[in-house]
Homo-oligomer: A and B are copies of this chain.
Amino acid sequence: MFTGLSAFPLTPVSEQGIKEYEFIGLVEHLAEAGVDSIGVLGSTGNYAYLSHAERARVVKLSVENAAGVPIVAGIGALRTRDVLANAESAQEAGASGVLLAPVSYQKLTDDEVFDLYATVCQSLSVPLCVYDNPGTTHFEFSDELHGRIAQLPQVRSIKIPPVNSDIQAATKRVARLRKLIPSDVTIGISGDAAAATGLNAGCDAWYSVIGGIYPKAALAIIRAAQAGDATTAQQLSEQLEPLWALYREYGGSLRVAATIAEVTGRVSQPCLPQPLQTLQGGDRKRVEQVLEHLELD
C-alpha cells in the first residue's frame, strides 16, 4: 500500500462542517484515475483543523467511495490521547493504513516523539507511515531517530520532505536512510516539485498533493519513474514548473491546491477552514493563468 502514487485530496469545509458531497467527488475522481492509494486527512486534507468526529466521518466517506483503493488516514494531533482516538476511529471506519506526524505546539524532543510512535503502534492493527513534515510540525527527524522508529513492527513507510534537486545528492540521501531502516519499510517522497527527483533517486512512493487534484499528471510522472525512464519523469515534472513556482510563492501547496479546486469548480468557495484563506484577487488570477497554460485534466 505504501508504494506508487498516494494521492492526497483536500477536505472541503464550511464553518459548519465537511462539504461531504464535494469530498466524495474528489475521492471518486482519484479512484477512477487509478491511483495506488488515497491519503485522506494529510496536511492537504487539513486534518489538524478538524474535530475527531469530522475526521472519523472523512475516513468513512472515503472508504465508502474509493471503489477498493486503499485509504491511508492521517491521525496526527498535538496530544497522544487524541492520536489514539483518531487511530481507533480510522481503523473502525476501514482505513487500510495510517499516517502520523509529530505535530507540535511545544517543541518536541526525540524521546517524546519515539514514545509517541511506540504508544500508538501498540494500539494499531493496520500499518503506519511516519510523516516527516518539518514545515508544519516544526520537528526535525534525525536519520538515527527514523531508524529507531522504523523498527516498530507497525511502521511500514516514511514520508520524507523534499530531497535536493541534484539527483546524486538525492540518491545518496535516500540510500543513507535506507541503510537504517528494515527492508520492508518503504520511503516516499513529498513536496511535488521534488517528486520526480525523489522517485528517480530510489523512493518507492510519492505522497502527492497535485495527485489529489490532477491524478493523471501525477500518474504519468510516477509510471515513467517506475519503468526506469528517469528522463521522461523529470521532463514531465519540469512541464509543471509553473505550478511548483506557485507553491514556492504562496508558502506551500495547500492554498494553491485549494484555489485550483475552487476555480475549476471541484469545490465551492470558500473551501478552507478559517483562518486559512484561498488566494484572491491578482494571486487567484495568476493561478488561473497557470492552469490555462498547462491544460491539465
Contact = CB atoms under 8 A, between A and B. Distances in A.
B81 A274 contact: yes
Interface in A66-119: 78-81, 102-103, 105-109, 111-113, 115-116, 119
Contact of A80 (B48, B102, B274): B274
A233 B243 CA distance: 55
Given A48-B78, A78-B48, A78-B49, A106 B15 contact: no
B81 A15 contact: yes
Contacts of A112: 275-277
A275 B115 contact: yes
A135 B138 CA distance: 10
Contacts of A80: 15, 273-275
Q: Say how many copies of this protein the assembly contains.
A: 2
B116 A275 contact: yes
Nearest to A107: B251
Contacts of A49: 78-79, 105
Contacts of A116: 274-275
A116 B272 CA distance: 14
B274 A105 contact: no
Nearest to A14: B81
B111 A277 contact: yes
Interface string A126-149: 000000000110100000000000
A24 to B, nearest CB: 22
A187 to B, nearest CB: 24
A119 B116 CA distance: 35
Interface string A242-258: 00000000011011000
A110 to B, nearest CB: 11
Given A105-B48, A109-B251, A274 B136 contact: no
A208 interface: no
A276 B103 CA distance: 11
Given A15-B81, A78-B48, A106 B252 contact: yes
State the 10 A-B residue pairs at the shortest beta-carbon distance, nearest first.
Answer: A80-B274, A48-B105, A116-B275, A112-B275, A49-B79, A80-B275, A79-B273, A107-B251, A49-B78, A105-B136
20 contacts: A15-B80, A15-B81, A48-B78, A48-B105, A79-B273, A80-B273, A80-B274, A80-B275, A105-B136, A106-B254, A106-B255, A107-B251, A111-B277, A112-B276, A113-B275, A115-B274, A115-B275, A115-B277, A116-B274, A116-B275
Given A103-B105, A111-B277, A116-B274, 18 more contacts: A15-B81, A43-B105, A43-B106, A48-B78, A49-B79, A79-B273, A80-B273, A80-B275, A106-B254, A106-B276, A107-B135, A112-B275, A112-B276, A113-B275, A115-B275, A115-B277, A116-B275, A119-B274
